[in-house]
Structure 1
Amino acid sequence: MNLYTIHCGHFKLDGGAMFGVVPKSIWMELNPADENNMCSWATRSLLIETEGRLILVDCGMGDKQSEKFFGYYYLHGEDNLDRSLAAYGFHRDDITDVFLTHLHFDHCGGAIKKDGDKLVPAFKNALYWSNEDHWNWAVHPNPREKASFLKENIFPIQESGKLHFITNKSSREPDLATAPFLNGFTIRFANGHTDAMMLPQLQYKGKTLVFMADLLPSPGHIPLPYVMAYDTRPLITMTEKEAFLKEALENDYILFFEHDPYIECCTLKETPRGIRADRFFKLSEL
């Protein structure tokens, strides 16, 4: 198995929304805000090369939305998915599978592109993976998440005939129940941020690496009370975080972050204040 960090660009979100009940005077030290209270965040994907497959975990926002839409999120920086793939000698047409942790627009918007007046898969040779629980949650959105589940990102996947569901009857269990996907690739389920979000857990170079998606958007979200206001069930998020962090500490897991603007990976350590980040590094340094 080979792993590659794929940079899909940076955007901004309200700092208060990203850190929930934590006061600005505290979270400002973690990710300083601009004059509009907006903090910079990454859309960082993971490319997995294994068993003759090239699997892309999440794919950023894409570029098909309107200028007005993107104006809300202050896209910035030089990174994009195609340039990042090319740096490793790959093209989007090489992707065999797109694994979507969940269907919020900043994770799946790049899955679909405009071709004239049509909306078509952006990875023409790939299968797209979700799970039935989360798909049903997304296509019948609650008012809180409706603005994050955009029909133009979701329904064209199904209409293309390339949508596949990962089956796991225990995806709603509170202990981050797992399901196998491929050799060395297990899926963890989390339900606090959104229903049945999937976290890839990979065996890589003798270590266990977990793609954190929005359970832990950044190392700054490791302390238990640091829960996004976007989470639909914040108390469940705290329960899931606590269980995962204990397991990760005991087993020396590597955490891979999708949204931190600078930090790709970290390990954990026990401190008098609880479990915290220990060593920061890039995936390429493993």
Structure 2
Amino acid sequence: MKKYITYFPGCIDSQNKIRTEYIFEKLGFEADLVSEWNCCAAPPSHYKPDFFNKVVMPLRNLGISQQKGENFLYSGCQVCVRHINEAVKIINSDSMFKNQAEYSLKPFNASLKESESGSTGAVHLLDIIAAPEIKSALLNNVSKNIEGDSILLYTGCYPDNESINSFKNILNILGAEVSLFGECCGGEKLRNTTPVHSKRIENANTSDRFFKLINGKADETDSDYILTICSMCEKNISDGIELSDLDVFAPIIGLSEFLGFLFGIKGCGNLIDGGHKGNGIGATKEYCI
């Protein structure tokens, strides 16, 4: 019997055409996208840390999920996960905050039925994969061969080393060599600061520096490609490509698309499959449909 979950894509994953419902199905879940979801507000709260951005916006998504009977949201973005869980902690720290949140969420039909930390919140996709029974389902549904691949697994700010090691073990079982790198990519402070739209030159420089750092790590470890577990990390690194003066760089792939690639979803993993692997020069990213 499949377990039902609600999935929150966040602003980054929403731009992709990755068939997350198919990916979750392969893992043994029936996933439903949060209806009428909104940005978790982590990027705006970085510059304007008011109650609406830090609490109301992230909890609205959680409230919508709870109205459907699901106390937990699942997401591939660690920034979204962290921001939603921090909002839950805030309303549990003071009854005034909890009352203010309830008042603000009512007009959205997103009142929280459960608000205690540990009983509700957001969960990262990697936490699902780390569970032993899900690990078996993943391995049983792999249709692509990554034996001999050298992967730089970029973990960013993801905090659970046990889940990271569990996923690393999965990749090792599939025959890949895995190196780890975990320095922060800059997270939400770099959002809305793309090379085209940003007027924050210092952030553009930060993005460029970080991209060169992680690309250097990929070169040092002789990695064929960089696999990110967080969709915002993937976007920040990809933005670095647009800023960089490097002629050669390692292909970047996010966790959701990588799972789609392993499961044989058409269009997933074009940059790391066949002749594209190990060469990011002039490559055009295509999302799986």
Is TM more than 0.5 here?
Answer: no
Instruction: Indicate the structure with greater strand content.
Output: 1
- Provide TM-score, normalisation by structure 2: 0.32
Higher-Rg member (1/2):
2
Instruction: Indicate the structure with greater helix content.
Output: 2
